[in-house]
A and B are shown apart, each in its own frame.
Chain A
Amino acid sequence: MLLTTTLVFGACQQNEETNEQVNEEITIEVEKNQEKIVSLNGAISEIICELGRGDEIVGVDVASTFPEWLTDSATVLGHANTLTVEGILNLQPTVVMTTVGSLKPEIESAIKNAGIELIAFNQEFSVEGTKSLVLEVAEFLNEGYKAQEINQNIDGVVSEIAAFDNPPSVLFIYARGAGTLMVAGKDTPMDQIVQLAKGENSITDFSDFKPLTEEALLGANPDVILMFDKGLQSLNGFEGLVNAVPAIAETNAGKNNGVIAMDGAFLTSFGPRLGNAAKELNALLTPYAK
């Protein structure tokens, strides 16, 4: 009985029109819709919260860091590579949401064999890919009409981003301490977000992530270096980066002290905040466009 009351209360919050007419029918409908979701992707978690269903998320992966309250209300299950089936099943979810290819096949099949619905969405790192992810997640949760609003918002913000006459050349460096420095080539989320922000990726001759070499760095000669804020912290700031890779001092970026640090989940989750991330990066790039 207590459960029913809470559910009805939840329904009132969601649909203000039905405030007065709480009846049996709505209770049943809401009970049917109420999920217990394990979301194993940052963008998917953000979309669910944006749809107003964040309270149904019971478990997330480490990449789901936004909105911040999510990590308090849901159990953090670990990195996609270190997840355990028992940890997921312990939350008694009704559905597990992830992206294609991010879970180990044996974990995927174990979840299905336990009788729990597993949905792997296709995630493509582009505006169109993000919009279709929003739509698919929303349709799954029977919130299709809300997807339009989110997607229009993304389109709106993206269209506001101004192009540069001389697009700055941007090098993304992924760092976890001086020992691990990787640069983003083509076909990476970073490449996409830099293009959306109207910059140019300094790396044009390889795809994916490759270890940073000084010669490649000098050849690329970026105007500005883009990093995750945690990555820059792990090197103790720009000076630490130059100490680790002295060749940076010889590039344009080194000469203008050009480094931009942004929150990793914000910059590359390719979720509802995609437009805002691109716009913010665009603003940060402006001083380097000559």
Chain B
Amino acid sequence: MKIIVAIKQVPERDAQVRIDSSGKWIEESDVQYAMNESDAYALEEALQLKEKHSGEVIVVSAGPERVGTTIREALAKGADRAIHIDCNNLNDRDALGVAQLIAAAIRSENADLVLTGLQSDDLGYGQTGVILAELLGMPHATLILHVEKTDLGLKVKRELEAGWFQEIEIPLPAALSIQSGGNKLRYATLMGIKKAKTKEMRVVNAADLGEAAAPVAVLEEIELPKKQRSTQIIPGDAKQAAAALVEKLKFEVRVL
């Protein structure tokens, strides 16, 4: 099975973020980057499918030069080769614009399966996998926790809301967006890290993948979120704060 996994590099989860001078994004020099969490699960699913059924795992990622470190991480975990879509203004594109970029870069690979994470931890559109399927003319399924190969294609386990699930049969080629938690993530081994350095990472310039259409969904500005409740922050060291909170729980919330 030839499997393509689209991965995104996003600011680390606990990164302290500041709005930059454009008012449209964050100060990038402040933050460290990591592989988007659900994308790591998509990669894991791809690697496990390859181990069971043989084939090839190709990762694709769009973004500036720094994305290379996340791509190397995926190669170190066991992906066979990579495509880096070099793009310095990814945020100027909407979900369709990004999916068009990725579709143009992977179309000629004619993969059997295209995997993405469910949603990015930065912009959180949660649409790339579904739009990719649409652009590549493939059926898709989302929120997938488990993938099993069958004679006809795949049988996948889809998460529904509130603790329900569903199995879906889907023919290949197909695109799946993977929910986190379905597998246990592996670590890169020292050998894997060493091997990754020799694996193919093809760099494609975004400008060579076709003109970007004007975005339909335009991010105009970002701001701090509005508070929904007025939070009373309880001061003091751990002991003082704990004692003060117990007073509140006893006399105001009345649960003690």
The yes or no verdict on A and B being binding partners is no
Residues in A lying within 8 Å of B, measured CB to CB: none
Which residues on B are within 8 Å of A, measured CB to CB? none
